[in-house]
Every structure is written in structure tokens, then in C-alpha cells.
Chains A and B, each alone.
Chain A
Amino acid sequence: MKPSHLGRIALLTAILALTPAAHPQGCTQCLDNTAATPPATQRAYRRAIILLTLTAGGLFVTTLAIFKRHR
């Protein structure tokens, strides 16, 4: 096998060996961030907030409408 090949393989192994050391922090972070509020949960909370506000607001306005009819 030619030394050049050896060099390439060495480079490749070096890169492969070094990457884990380079990215674990990134991994912890993305993992933690999903743990903080995964998109699904965020969506659920958004849905919850909208549901609460819309229902309450709707009832508020409906009552006003009823009152206005009797005014």
C-alpha cells in the first residue's frame, strides 16, 4: 500500500477519532434543549393557551351580545 494512502487513512482516522471530542458538547446541548421544551410540548402549550383564551374571550363577547340584546 502506498504511503500516500497511509497518509489519507491516517488523516481519515484522525478526523474520525477527533470528531467525538469536538461535538459532544453540541450533542449535550441539543439534547438538553429538547428536554427543555421539545417542539411537541411547545405546540401543546400554544394550543392550550389559544384554547383557553379563545373560549373565555368568546364567552365574554357572547355575554355582552346577550346583554346588548336586552339593553
Chain B
Amino acid sequence: MPLSGLTSVWTTSNPWSLPANASAHGLALDHHLLLNLWIALALLALAHIILLAGLLARRRNEATNLLRVEYIPLVALAVLFGTLTIKAERLWAATRYTGASLTALQVEVTGAQFVWYFRYPGPDATFGITRPQLIAPGEGNPLGIDPSDPHSADDEVTSELVLPADREIDLALRAQDVIHGFSIPELRLKQNAVPGQTIHIHFTPVTPGTYAILCTQLCGLGHYRMNATLRIVTPAEFTSWSAHQKESIR
């Protein structure tokens, strides 16, 4: 399809391209984004050509045909923007309207000034209760996990997000203090973590590799260094990694 052609043109001919996509939903997003960019570019060129041509051409009586000059182009634009909207809404619905499947791997992401914590529920697939009073990064309990809760025993907290490829991930975003923005450019993922709320996003990473996790919502003086690393690994590597994590916990 021509769109992929455009994509390749963009990514090859342009030294400053989008970061390579590493998620399942990213490809469609990229296509739609590039389609939009090309349309914008075309309209930009068209408008400026009309502008310059109109300025250079010699004087003539003023246009009077409201229908031809104003309404027909408007209808055309309306159709164009309408189709773009519908396309975008369908992509949006696909990623956001429905929750994750029950088999999705659950990871809790917690933003605090100025660091990301990642918590894996462990074998019981349930996160232990957290209490703000218990938050003590110094004593190795940055999330304030309540030890008296049986579920919390096998929770693993890491500073690096490790995910298996090709499995749906269900991220539960939380923030301890202020609003943070959880963003993984390569996964075409962005969602604010709001204090007092748990916000779910779900996606499927596909390409193994290490990627950047950024904070994209101004959260204080350390905003610029609030980043973490995402490692997408093969399912086998992931199981061994989590096993190793359990070792380290004991």
C-alpha cells in the first residue's frame, strides 16, 4: 500500500525520523501519523502556492463566486478531516476503549519525584496493599508496601522495566506525589500517572531491545532526569529473569 511507501520514504530519506517502533499497535499509529504529516505538508504547499500565485499574477476583478471559492473547498476539507477523525478514533478505540485481557501480564508503574518504580505481582498475581505512611525509600520500601498483607510477600519492585515480547502487558499507572507522565517513545505510549488514581494502559511489545522510559509531565526540578530503561526480552529470558529476581528477594 502507498502508505508504507510513504513510511519508508520518510524513515529512509529523513535523517531525523521517528524512533523505530517496537510495539504491536505502533505500526498503525505511525502510518496514521505519517499520513497526517504528508497531508499537512501537501496542504501547506498548496496554500502557499495559491498565495504566491495570487500575489504574482496580474490584477483582475475580485472573485465573487462564494460557492466555488469558499464552500466547495470547505466541504472538501470537512470530508478530509472527517475521514482522518474517524480513522483516528478507531485506532484510539482499539487501544483505549477496552481493558486488557485477564491473561495479560500485570505490572504496576509508580512515579515519584524523580524516579520510576516497577512492581511485579509475583506468582499470586496480586499486588500487596501499599500505604503512604510506610513509604521509605531509604529502608528499601519505596512504594510503602504493607508487609502484613500476605499478597505483598512475593511482590518484586525493580527500577528497570523488563517485559516479555509478544505478550499483552497491563500497566497500572500510579503516582505518589505529583502528576508524572509515563512515556515510551519507541512503544508509541504515553499516559500521565495521576496521584489518587490508578490508570490502566495495555499494549503488546514485539521487538526485543532496550528502550527509553521518559517523564513527559513537568514534575519538579528533576523532571529532566526522571527516566528509566525498558528491556523487552524473549519469554524464555523473561521467566529466567523473574526467577532470578525471586532469588534476590529471598
Write the residues of chain A forming the contact surface with B, with a CB cutoff of 8 angstroms.
21, 24-29, 32-33, 35-37
Contacts and interface: CB of A to CB of B under 8 A. Distances in A.
Interface size range of chain B in the complex: 10 to 19
A36 B199 contact: yes
B31 interface: no
A24 B102 contact: no
A35 B197 contact: yes
Nearest to B125: A25
Contacts of B127: 28
Contact of B200 (A21, A24, A25, A32): A32
Contacts of A33: 99, 200
Contacts of B172: 32
Nearest to A27: B126
Nearest to B105: A25
Contacts of B151: 24
Contact of B99 (A25, A29, A37): A29
B131 to A, nearest CB: 15
Contact of B197 (A21, A24, A25, A36): A36
Nearest to A34: B198
